[in-house]
Amino acid sequence: MATLKLKNLKKGFEGLQIIKGIDLEVLDKEFVVFVGPSGCGKSTLLRLIAGLEDVSSGHIELDGRDITEVSPAKRDLAMVFQTYALYPHMTVRKNMSFALDLAGGDKAEVQRKVDDAARILELTPLLDRKPRQLSGGQRQRVAIGRAIVRNPKIFLFDEPLSNLDAALRVQMRLELARLHQELQATMIYVTHDQVEAMTLANKVVVLNGGRIEQVGSPLELYHHPANLFVAGFLGTPKMAFLKGKVSAVDTGGCEVSLDAGLQLALPHSSAALKVGDPVTLGIRPEHLELATAGQPGLSVTADVSERLGSDTFCHVLADSGEPLTVRLRGDLNNPYGQRLQLHLGAEHCHLFDANGDAVSHALRAAA
Amino acid sequence: MMTLKQSRRLQSVALGGLSWLIALLIFFPILWMVLTSFKTEIDAFATPPLFFFHPTLENYIHIQERSDYLHFAWNSIAISFSATILCLLIAVPAAYSMAFYETKRTKQTLLWMLSTKMLPPVGVLMPIYLLAKGTGLLDTKLALIIIYTLVNLPIVVWMVYTYFKDVPRDILEAARLDGATLLQEMLRVLLPISKGGLASTALLSLILCWNEAFWSLNLSSSQAAPLTALIASYSSPEGLFWAKLSAVSTLACAPILIFGWISQKQLVRGLSFGAVK
Ligand SMILES: Nc1ncnc2c1ncn2[C@@H]1O[C@H](COP(=O)(O)OP(=O)(O)O)[C@@H](O)[C@H]1O
Ligand SMILES: [Mg+2]
Q: What are phi and psi of A178, to 5 degrees?
A: -65, -40
CATH number of A237-366: 2.40.50.100
B242 found inside a domain: yes
Please give the Cα distance from A62 to A46 (Å, whole number): 14
* Superfamily (CATH) of domain A4-232: P-loop containing nucleotide triphosphate hydrolases (3.40.50.300)
Q: What residue of A is the nearest CA neighbor of B190?
A: A87
Of B264, B162, B250, give the one whose Cα is nearest residue B204.
B264
Mean pLDDT of B56-82: 92
Mean pLDDT of chain B: 90
Q: By three-state DSSP, how is residue A59 classified?
A: strand
Please give the Cα distance from B227 to B141 (Å, whole number): 13
- SS3 assignment for B137-181: CCCCHHHHHHHHHHHHHHHHHHHHHHHHHCCCHHHHHHHHHCCCC
The total of structural domains in chain B comes to 1
B127 found inside a domain: yes
Tell which one of A44, A48, A193 to mutate to probe ligand 1, the residue whose CB is within 8 A of the most ligand atoms.
Answer: A44
Cβ of B174 under 8 Å from any chain A Cβ?
Answer: yes
The string of pLDDT tens digits covering residues B218-262 is: 999 889 999 999 988 887 655 678 888 899 999 999 999 888 888
Does the beta-carbon distance from B176 to A73 stay under 8 Å? yes
Position B85 scores a pLDDT of 98
B16 found inside a domain: no
Contact A17, A41 (CB under 8 A): no
Of A41, A49, A43, give the one whose Cα is nearest residue A24.
A49
Of A291, A345, A336, A295, give the one whose Cα is nearest residue A317.
A336
| Cis-peptide, bond into residue B48, ω within 30° of zero | yes
Position B89 scores a pLDDT of 97
Closest Cα in chain B, distance from residue A215 (Å): 27
Interface contacts (A, B; CB < 8 Å): 61
Q: Looking only at Cα atoms, what is the longest distance across chain B?
A: 79
Contact A161, A5 (CB under 8 A): no
Please give the Cα distance from A261 to B59 (Å, whole number): 106
Position B268 scores a pLDDT of 67
Position B269 scores a pLDDT of 62
Return contacts of B86-91, CB within 8 angstroms, 24+ apart: B86/B145, B86/B149, B87/B148, B87/B149, B87/B152, B87/B153, B87/B156, B87/B205, B88/B156, B88/B160, B88/B198, B88/B201, B88/B202, B88/B205, B90/B149, B90/B153, B90/B157, B91/B153, B91/B156, B91/B157, B91/B160, B91/B201
Q: Is residue B275 scored above 70 in pLDDT? A: no
Q: Is any ligand 1 atom within 6 A of the Cβ of residue A38?
A: yes
Please give the Cα distance from B71 to B252 (Å, whole number): 12
B111 found inside a domain: yes
Q: What residue of A is the nearest CA neighbor of B194?
A: A89
The string of pLDDT tens digits covering residues A269-286 is: 888 889 999 999 999 999
Chosen from B169, B177, B189 to mutate, greatest number of chain A CBs within 10 A = B177
Element spanning A183, H or E: helix A166-183
Amino acid identity, residue A307? R
In the 8-state DSSP scheme, what is residue B206?
Answer: H
Q: Sign of dihedral through CA atoms A44, A45, A48, A49?
A: negative
Contact A200, A172 (CB under 8 A): no
B214 found inside a domain: yes
B150 found inside a domain: yes
Nearest CA to ligand 1 atom 8: A44
Element spanning A329, H or E: strand A323-329
Q: What are phi and psi of A128, to 5 degrees?
A: -100, 10
Contact A22, A58 (CB under 8 A): yes
Closest in A78, A83, A89 to B170, CB measured: A83
Closest Cα in chain B, distance from residue A102 (Å): 7
Q: Sign of dihedral through CA atoms B149, B151, B156, B161?
A: positive
Please give the Cα distance from B112 to B199 (Å, whole number): 25
Nearest CA to ligand 1 atom 18: A43
Amino acid identity, residue A197? A
Does the beta-carbon distance from A89 to B193 stay under 8 Å? yes
CA distances from A44 to A22, A34, B76, B183, B217 (A): 12, 11, 52, 25, 56
Please give the Cα distance from A233 to A356 (Å, whole number): 13
Please give the Cα distance from B100 to B176 (Å, whole number): 13
How many helices (H) and strands (E) would you count in chain B?
A: 15, 0
Low-confidence ranges of chain A (pLDDT < 70): 362-367
The string of pLDDT tens digits covering residues A248-275 is: 998 888 999 999 999 999 999 888 889 9
Of A294, A297, A298, A343, give the one whose Cα is nearest residue A320.
A298
Query: Per-domain residue ranges for chain A?
Result: 4-232, 237-366
Amino acid identity, residue A48? L
Convert B179-215 to b/e letters by CB count within 10 Å (16 or more is b): bbeeebbbebbbeebbbbbbbbbbbbbbbbbbbbeeb
Of A110, A160, A116, give the one whose Cα is nearest residue A140.
A160
Q: Is any ligand 1 atom within 6 A of the Cβ of residue A210?
A: no
Mean pLDDT of B169-182: 95
Please give the Cα distance from A244 to A257 (Å, whole number): 5
DSSP string, A201-241: -SEEEEEETTEEEEEE-HHHHHHS-SBHHHHHHSSSSPPEE
Instruction: Compute CA B246 distance to the chain's CA centroid, rounded to the nearest angstrom.
Output: 20
From chain B, the residues in CB contact with A87 under 8 A are 171, 174-175, 189, 193
From chain A, the residues in CB contact with B189 under 8 A are 87
> What spacing in Å lies between the alpha carbon of A162 and ligand 2's midpoint?
10
The CATH number given to whatever domain includes residue B245 is: 1.10.3720.10
> What spacing in Å lies between the alpha carbon of A40 and ligand 1's midpoint?
8
Q: By three-state DSSP, how is residue A86 classified?
A: coil
Position A344 scores a pLDDT of 92
Closest in A52, A85, A99 to B168, CB measured: A85
Which structural domain range is residue B255 located in? 59-271
B103 found inside a domain: yes
Residue B17: Cβ within 10 Å count: 10
Mean pLDDT of B182-190: 96
Closest Cα in chain A, distance from residue B180 (Å): 6
In B181-210, the residues whose Cβ lies within 8 Å of chain A are: 181, 184, 188-189, 192-193
Closest in B171, B179, B275 to A73, CB measured: B179
B48 found inside a domain: no
